[in-house]
């Protein structure tokens, strides 16, 4: 064991050091035995390499321990412990406690066996698209818990994601985590890991938010699928501004040809890694919905009980509600006004403008209004208004189709080829996710021809690039 590390057998209160597990720029991590609870734990010790040394007693830290910079970084280390102590989720490393002693501080965490994604790819090679998709979903679920607490991780990379022996994922190292204070506080410490940090992390002044972490997650998956570190954000931004080929285009094309699920994965990663933060998804749930149709509460697990911190799962599928009744707009605006004041009107109309269904409207509202809206009764009231309207529409639709068996719609006879509709559903799903099959089934009875059906489906794709890609796919299938 290196001389600067605590030696095996060293006692820290009721913990006995077993061995050194790893070292970073700001700390040493050990495996230790909890004598009281008779279990293995991990202990992270704050140790500023190059500025401090180990005293002769083998325990105390000596050197520039009184410097302002040392104390500032020590406080950040303690902030990391306090941050992690708030989370109760199997995908986030759990902190049992922390304390200061010996001119330093110690953080006691769960001891978890496993291998980081970086080491896994280096040792065993790249992941399959199916493996990467499963891991991506787990990381996104961890992020929605973190972001629901108004924190950003800010250093997501393959070395900070552990894969346990059972395949489950653990997000590590929250030393760079900070509260996301929105537009009021745009100054962040400049902190980057080349290839995984988006452009806004290079400036130190540009606003950072959930989209910052989502870029890094996309970059991690790109590494896991190709084995190479993505092109740095600065170079990608330069290419974007000069209309040159994006440095990650080749990797995305390679992923798209891997297997049947590769095309969707490549599109999701391209979305996550768009150079401009406003072009990326603004919250983890938006990506989860695209990957697996996940909706429902944002929460943290406490035993078998979910503590909900976000929007409740709607009683009906709000993605089916393609327009917002005009009489609801003013009611929603009033609810917003009670929550966010004079911002209500511009926030509402901006949210409506970019929404293609009721669920997206809710997503847009929570993304723009943030914690101020989540913490108020307004969000639940707005959700209730939309649920009621959606349920009414569903009942009306059911009533209007009561005689369908006696008189099949005229389009049903024209588009009777199940293979064609399956192909259309499959291609549409690449752009809007699992909702595609339901959408095709619903619209096939309203369309007068296949060409008309495809035109209606195109209008449901919010992204211009995705819409063009879908049309091109339809042309390849000789459907238009």
Q: Mean pLDDT, to the nearest integer, of 215-240?
A: 92
Whether residues 135 and 284 fall in one domain: yes
Report how far residue 462's alpha carbon sits from residue 454's, in angstroms, rounded to the nearest whole number. Answer: 15
Tokens matching residue 454? 């495809």
Burial string for 271-290 (b: 16+ CB within 10 Å, else e) reads: bbbbbebeebbbbbbbbbbb
Whether residues 139 and 282 fall in one domain: yes
**Strand ranges of the sheet holding 39-46, from the earlier edge strand across to the other edge:** 11-12, 15-24, 27-34, 39-46, 104-110, 95-101
Count how many domains the chain has: 4
pLDDT category of residue 30 using cuts at 50, 70 and 90 = very high
Whether residues 71 and 120 fall in one domain: no
Q: CA 305, 307, 313 angle in degrees (round to 5)? A: 100
Whether residue 6 is contained in a domain is answered as no
Tokens matching residue 87? 């989370």
pLDDT category of residue 178 using cuts at 50, 70 and 90 = low
pLDDT category of residue 103 using cuts at 50, 70 and 90 = very high
CATH of the domain at 138: 1.10.510.10
pLDDT of 33 higher than 90: yes
Whether residue 467 is contained in a domain is answered as yes
Q: Mean pLDDT, to the nearest integer, of 163-183?
A: 71
pLDDT of 303 higher than 50: no
Report how far residue 188's alpha carbon sits from residue 106's, in angstroms, rounded to the nearest whole number. Answer: 25
SS (H, E, C) the chain: CCCCCCCCCCEECCEEEEEEEEEECCEEEEEEEECCCCEEEEEEEECCCCCEEECCCCCCEEECCCCHHHHHHHHHHHHHHHHHHCCCCCCECCEEEEEEECCEEEEEEECCCCEEHHHHHHHHCCCCHHHHHHHHHHHHHHHHHHHHCCEECCCCCHHHEEECCCCCEEECCCCCCEECCHHHCCCCCCCCCCCCCCCHHHHCCCCCCHHHHHHHHHHHHHHHHHCCCCCCHHHHHHHHHCCCCCCCHHHHHHHHCCCCCHHHHHHHHHHHCCCCHHHCCCCHHHHHHHHHCCCCCCEEEECCEEEECCCCCCCCCHHHCCCCCHHHHHHHHHHHHHHHHHHHHHHHHHHHHCCCCHHHHHHHHHHHHCHHHHCCCHHHHHHHHHHHHHHHHHHHHHHHCCCCCCCCCHHHHHCCCHHHHHHHHHHHHHHHCCHHHHHHHHHCCCCCCHHHHHHHHHCCCCCHHHHHHHHHHHHHCCCC
Whether residues 414 and 351 fall in one domain: no
Whether residues 148 and 73 fall in one domain: no
Contact present, 418 and 409 (Cβ < 8 Å)? no
Mean pLDDT over each residue of the chain, to the nearest integer: 78
pLDDT category of residue 187 using cuts at 50, 70 and 90 = very low
Whether residues 417 and 272 fall in one domain: no
Residue-wise pLDDT tens digits, 257-286:
887 788 889 999 999 999 888 889 989 988
Whether residues 418 and 393 fall in one domain: no
Whether residues 449 and 423 fall in one domain: yes
The pLDDT value given to residue 469: 85
Close Cβ partners of 177 (under 8 Å, ≥ 6 residues apart): 79, 80, 83, 146, 151, 152, 153, 154, 155
Say how far residue 12 (Cα) sits from the centre of its chain. Answer: 37
Residue-wise pLDDT tens digits, 432-453:
765 677 778 777 777 777 888 8
pLDDT of 424 higher than 90: no
Q: Mean pLDDT, to the nearest integer, of 239-254?
A: 87
- For residues 352 and 401, the model is more confident at 352
Burial string for 325-336 (b: 16+ CB within 10 Å, else e) reads: eeebeeebeebb
Whether residue 5 is contained in a domain is answered as no
Whether residue 226 is contained in a domain is answered as yes
Report how far residue 441's alpha carbon sits from residue 66's, in angstroms, rounded to the nearest whole number. Answer: 69
Whether residues 227 and 276 fall in one domain: yes
Whether residue 432 is contained in a domain is answered as yes
pLDDT of 338 higher than 90: no
Strand partners, 42: 31, 109
Contact present, 282 and 211 (Cβ < 8 Å)? yes
Whether residues 229 and 267 fall in one domain: yes
pLDDT of 409 higher than 50: no
Domain termination site, one of 249, 278, 302: 302
Whether residues 415 and 354 fall in one domain: no
pLDDT of 364 higher than 50: yes
Domain termination site, one of 110, 140, 169: 110
Domain termination site, one of 283, 302, 321: 302
Whether residue 318 is contained in a domain is answered as yes
Whether residue 4 is contained in a domain is answered as no
Could you tell me the residue range of the domain that residue 80 belongs to? Answer: 11-110
Whether residues 280 and 332 fall in one domain: no
Whether residue 238 is contained in a domain is answered as yes
pLDDT category of residue 360 using cuts at 50, 70 and 90 = confident
């Amino acid at each position: 064991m290196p001389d600067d590390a605590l030696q095996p057998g060293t006692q820290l209160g009721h913990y006995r050091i077993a061995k050194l597990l790893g070292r970073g720029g700001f700390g040493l991590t050990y495996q230790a035995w909890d004598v009281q609870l008779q279990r293995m734990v991990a202990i992270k010790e704050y140790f500023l390499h190059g500025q401090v040394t180990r005293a002769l007693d083998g325990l105390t830290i000596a050197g520039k321990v009184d410097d302002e910079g040392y104390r500032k970084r020590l406080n950040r280390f303690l902030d990391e412990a306090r941050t992690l102590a708030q989370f109760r989720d199997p995908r986030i490393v759990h902190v049992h406690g922390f304390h200061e002693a010996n001119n330093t501080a110690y953080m006691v965490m769960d001891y978890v066996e496993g291998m980081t994604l970086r080491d896994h790819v280096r040792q065993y090679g790249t992941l399959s698209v199916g493996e990467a998709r499963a891991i991506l979903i787990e990381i996104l679920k961890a992020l929605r818990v973190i972001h629901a607490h108004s924190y950003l991780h800010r250093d997501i990379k393959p070395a900070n994601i552990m894969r346990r022996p059972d395949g489950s994922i653990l997000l590590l190292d929250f030393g760079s985590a900070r509260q996301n204070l929105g537009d009021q506080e745009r100054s962040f410490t400049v902190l980057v890991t080349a290839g995984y940090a988006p452009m806004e992390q290079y400036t130190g002044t540009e606003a950072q938010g959930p989209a910052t972490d989502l870029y890094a997650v996309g970059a991690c998956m790109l590494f896991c699928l190709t084995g190479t570190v993505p092109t740095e954000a600065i170079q990608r931004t330069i290419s974007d501004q000069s209309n040159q080929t994006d440095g990650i285009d080749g990797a995305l094309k390679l992923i798209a040809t891997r297997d049947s699920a590769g095309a969707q994965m490549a599109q999701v990663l391209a979305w996550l890694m768009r150079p401009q933060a406003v072009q990326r998804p603004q919250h983890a749930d938006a990506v989860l919905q695209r990957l697996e149709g996940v909706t429902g509460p944002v929460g943290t697990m406490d035993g078998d009980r979910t503590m909900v911190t976000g929007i409740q799962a709607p009683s009906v599928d709000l993605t089916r509600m393609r327009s917002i009744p005009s009489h609801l707009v003013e009611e929603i605006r009033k609810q917003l006004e009670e929550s966010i004041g004079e911002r209500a009107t511009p926030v509402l109309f901006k949210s409506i403008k970019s929404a293609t269904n009721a669920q997206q409207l809710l997503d847009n509202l929570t993304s723009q209004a943030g914690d101020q809206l989540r913490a108020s009764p307004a969000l639940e009231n707005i959700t209730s208004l939309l649920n009621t309207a959606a349920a009414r529409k569903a009942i009306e639709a059911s009533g209007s189709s009561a005689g369908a068996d006696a008189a099949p719609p005229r389009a049903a006879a024209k588009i009777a080829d199940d293979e064609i509709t399956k192909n259309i559903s499959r291609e549409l799903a690449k752009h809007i996710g699992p909702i595609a099959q339901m959408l095709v089934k619903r619209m096939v009875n309203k369309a007068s021809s296949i060409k008309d059906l495809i035109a209606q489906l195109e209008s449901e794709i919010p992204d211009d690039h995705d819409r063009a890609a879908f049309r091109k796919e339809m042309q390849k299938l000789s459907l238009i």
